[in-house]
Amino acid sequence: MPHRPYAIDEMISAKAIAARVEALAKEITQAFAGTEKLVVVGLLRGSFVFIADLVREIDLPLEVDFLEASSYGDAMQSSREVRILKDLRGEISGRDVLVVEDIVDTGFTLHHVVNLLRSRAPKRLEVCALLDKPSRREVPIRATWTGFEIPDEFVVGYGIDFAQRDRNLPHIGKVRFTERAAG
Ligand code: IMP
């Protein structure tokens, strides 16, 4: 029995991710220079690896908070209905906020989260997304910073899952269904 019923083809190497994370962190550090304390908000669960690497490269006083929004569940399609499953612990009113997202796909999740957080009157709110699939967009929204633009492929690794699997891959790979798995 194979470890998983599909194959994974490497799309972005761990080395390329690390280099890009470092570059993004430099830009973020410059953009928020002088902040009293940045609130870095990770969207669970897909951003947990990215946020861990990113904050360690950001040279600013910061704190980390998390928000969980429902999106795909265990499916490969966005549900289009976004629900907040876990809200922030802290207040963001009057604060500098950076939202960290794994992938912007249809844009429904980010749109919902940004509207919600903006309604709490932060001083400034920007978004950093590791991946962007612009060809899939249904809601017109863009992250302030994007790690990589990718084609319309289902990807896993570096915190990103397929039905909760493969978050632990160090690189990002695209899922390829083998004939046997496709049935
Ligand atoms: P959106 O609301 O359609 O933009 O969906 C965004 C969320 O869907 C991301 O935060 C991911 O959790 C999930 N997602 C989108 N594309 C993929 C993918 O290729 N692999 C795994 N999860 C994905």
Cα dist. 94→40, 99, 122, 127, 164 in Å?
14, 15, 5, 17, 35
Closest by CA position to 151, among listed 180, 171, 172:
172
Q: Which domain holds residue 99?
A: 14-151
pLDDT at position 57 = 98
Asked if residue 159 belongs to a domain, the reply is: no
Q: If you measure from the C-alpha of residue 39 to the centroid of ligand 1, how many angstroms do you get, rounded to a whole number?
A: 23
> Is 53 an annotated catalytic residue?
no
User: Does a structural domain hold residue 182?
Assistant: no
- The amino acid sitting at 17 is I
Q: Does residue 80 have a pLDDT over 90?
A: no
Q: Is the pTM of this model over 0.85?
A: yes
The answer to whether position 181 is within a domain reads no
Residue 172 included in any domain? no
Is 127 within the bounds of a domain?
A: yes
CATH number, domain of 88, equals 3.40.50.2020
Domain count, the chain: 1
For all residues of the chain together, what is the average pLDDT? Answer: 93
| Nearest partner of 63 among 83, 104, 91, 24, judged by Cα | 91
Widest pairwise Cα distance in the chain: 57
pLDDT at residue 68 greater than cutoff 50: yes
Assigned domain for 173 exists: no
Residue 5 lies in a domain: no
* Amino acid of residue 163: A
Residue whose CB lies within 8 A of the most ligand 1 atoms, among 9, 150, 160, 161, for a mutation test: 160
Question: Is 1 inside any structural domain?
Answer: no
